[in-house]
Structure 1
């Protein structure tokens, strides 16, 4: 009998920095310094390691918070987001320190978004025969899903697989890039094609599979059984450049060189004294 592979856990650290900072602000009232993001990520990680106790390999990936190639492609990329609050910023280095203390590997690469690190690392590990569980509720991550790369959606605690994506959206994981390119993504300020929403984007993809085929068959669109089909064809023609720019912005890179082996992701031995000192300093015990 073939031995069951236990997944390597990759956590979308930047997403959860913000998620817990805003979601657990009450923790900051009892501490000398803000610690809501730290506490949230530690608690989440602890729960994950209990739930997936057989998975001894884990890594948390973060943005470097510097401009990336997407900012060069599109100046307005993510410029709708406010600057990081100082009360969150001052938690980052202490968080890295405590994660090191408890033996969890972290990774950030200057000028590379966490999404691109996660995508490249996941595919690199998959090529070596590993199974991967990405912990995130960022919809961009859907494009990374394969039979061996699944997503744990922390908000509703479900596992996202190729089958669940097909059932919910009617498309394959890779086609989610085309989906975002058509309808845009306000959270990242990806423009998309004006007046194309979820239903229209999914219908077009059901007919033509991807954005290139949509434009290759654009003369057929006015004759589709689609409300305002003529206007949609005009919108697509007038916004072809924006559509393909949006496709570039939405595509997670899979070719970032990452020189980390799966062995480096093994949980290290925890320093109990350092852990005790950390919680004492933050008045969490």
Structure 2
């Protein structure tokens, strides 16, 4: 159980859990053979967060839009390794949004803006207002957002990610996780990174120099480090400098996206169980014990 002085503003990484729900419950179909596993999984996730864990009064679910983002413009291969959304998932999106709206849970997506950037900007905005934030996600990109007032919950293992835990595990600060991804790349998002530099080498460099800019400012010192193949590492960094800084831009979550929603706009007054029941009946969903 997670103990916190104030009830946090909960931000759910909706796109991540939408896909996770779909693949976990992809064989769930109603009497008309229409899939509803993604809807079921999302409602189950919300129930676990609100009831079992936190019972917070402020919650928002943030989704990607289908539009291309600035990252696609600066690197056309960004995320192009991901398959197209399955039709069986696509047909569940509007019913899910309808259900969430009816029961009073706010959602947000912005055309052309990635969900990560909306999450980061909204979390930053809420933190500046003096509130605490809990981001529900297991996407490693989110680690860079962690502060004393912004933590991450991975509901798969109930782990709460704090600055202390990141330092204990990686030996770097949360904001340096951008530099880590820039150096070693990220296959899931197709961020290239510097070839032949893995997580151990990247962490070693960051523990010595703190960030990617300092590494390049001290490039002549890299080959003198007590690091295996230090000379080769130095040559790789020199050769792929442009790729490293491009990868940094791709990995960095934006904190300055204009968000015209405040934490008071996402207060969950009370879930309307009658509407929930009617929605479950409307979409002929068999499992009825959600919330």
Q: TM-score, normalised by structure 1?
A: 0.96
Cα distance in structure 2, aligned partners of 1:199 and 1:40: 36
Q: Provide, for residues 202-250 of structure 1, a one-character-per-residue CA deviation record: whole Å limited to 9, x for no partner.
A: 0000110000000000001111000000000000000000000000000
3-state DSSP of counterpart to 2:203: helix
Structure 1 residue 283: deviation in Å? 3.0
**Is the contact made by 1:32 and 1:282 (CA closer than 8 Å) also made in structure 2?**
no
Kindly indicate whether residue 91 of structure 2 is the aligned counterpart of residue 90 of structure 1.
Answer: yes
Structure 1 residue 31: deviation in Å? 6.2
Q: How does 1:1-285 map to 2 (within 5 A)?
A: 4-28=5-29, 32-280=33-281, 281-284=283-286, 285=288
Cα distance in structure 1, aligned partners of 2:7 and 2:216: 42
Gaps of 5+ in 1: none
Cα distance in structure 2, aligned partners of 1:235 and 1:30: 58
Distance 1:101 1:233, change over 3 A: same
Distance 1:215 1:48, change over 3 A: same
Q: TM-score, normalised by structure 2?
A: 0.94
Structure 1 residue 87: deviation in Å? 0.5
Structure 1 residue runs of 4 or more that deviate by more than 6 Å after TM superposition: none
Cα distance in structure 1, aligned partners of 2:239 and 2:31: 55
**Is the contact made by 1:185 and 1:192 (CA closer than 8 Å) also made in structure 2?**
yes
Deviation larger for 156-165 or 53-62: 53-62
3-state DSSP of counterpart to 1:182: helix
Q: Provide, for residues 244-281 of structure 1, a one-character-per-residue CA deviation record: whole Å limited to 9, x for no partner.
A: 00000000000000011111111134343432222123
**Is the contact made by 2:57 and 2:269 (CA closer than 8 Å) also made in structure 1?**
no
Cα distance in structure 2, aligned partners of 1:140 and 1:63: 15
Cα distance in structure 1, aligned partners of 2:191 and 2:29: 33
3-state DSSP of counterpart to 1:9: strand
Structure 1 residue 30: deviation in Å? 6.1
Deviation larger for 4-13 or 194-203: 4-13
Superposed CA RMSD: 1.4
Cα distance in structure 1, aligned partners of 2:180 and 2:115: 21
